[in-house]
Amino acid sequence: DQQVKQNSPSLSVQEGRISILNCDYTNSMFDYFLWYKKYPAEGPTFLISISSIKDKNEDGRFTVFLNKSAKHLSLHIVPSQPGDSAVYFCAASAYSGGSNYKLTFGKGTLLTVNP
Amino acid sequence: DSGVTQTPKHLITATGQRVTLRCSPRSGDLSVYWYQQSLDQGLQFLIQYYNGEERAKGNILERFSAQQFPDLHSELNLSSLELGDSALYFCASSPLRGGETQYFGPGTRLLVL
């Protein structure tokens, strides 16, 4: 049962254009959502997050949108740069008791930004 | 640099063997998480330790075990290794509060031959 789904395994965009990465989830208990970026041979790097009480969070070129009714979030990168080429993981967090927040990851989307 | 360190970076071993992966969390972080990433798979949560105690278990096999030591570093022990255990193993850490954002180490690539 995959609770966090990234249905596009790959995405290719031109430098300077917008990249839109999508993520769907099924568990209504998720209350915090994160995007991680991963380069080959490195660990995932935290990029941006959004709480379920918001519908948008922006950080420089990166904006995350959350549509709770559709259980859908997206990451927009504007403008896209070749250095953004990486695998992007969507993750969702649910409180699991005590001080614990369990993260559930999607399978990732490989973004390629062409010069 | 996330501040999380993992050793070794690469590990090659044979089926049936046992290996130990090591993780040092970011300074001040009390929680350590272990994840497995196999080919074409996302990050699969294995286990979480908080301040030396096991806090949550995910899809961890009985052949695998972990512990967190008083200095907060953690070890993941993999025994009776099988070919299918070949994967990237990541460690992540988080502070007690705001624990939903986890910071990942560079990973250990395990190859079982």
pLDDT tens string A67-102: 999 999 999 999 999 999 999 999 998 876 665 667
Q: Encode pLDDT of A24-76 as tens digits.
A: 999 998 988 999 999 988 899 999 999 999 999 999 999 999 999 999 999 99
Which of B6, B45, B97 comes nearest A99 by C-beta? B97
What is the sign, positive or negative, of the torsion defined by CA atoms of B43, A18, A51, B29? positive
Q: Per CB distance under 8 Å, which residues of B are interface residues toward A? A: 2, 4, 6, 31, 33, 35, 40-45, 48, 50, 55-56, 58, 90, 92, 94, 96-97, 99-107
In A, which residues are within 8 Å of B2 by CB distance?
43, 45
Q: Which helix (H) or strand (E) holds B24?
A: strand B19-24
Using only C-alpha atoms, what is the Rg of chain A? 14
User: With the CA atoms of A15, A57, A99 and A68 taken in that order, what torsion angle do they form, in degrees rounded to the nearest 10?
Assistant: -100
Burial of B102 (C-beta count, 10 Å sphere; 0-12/13-18/19+)? buried
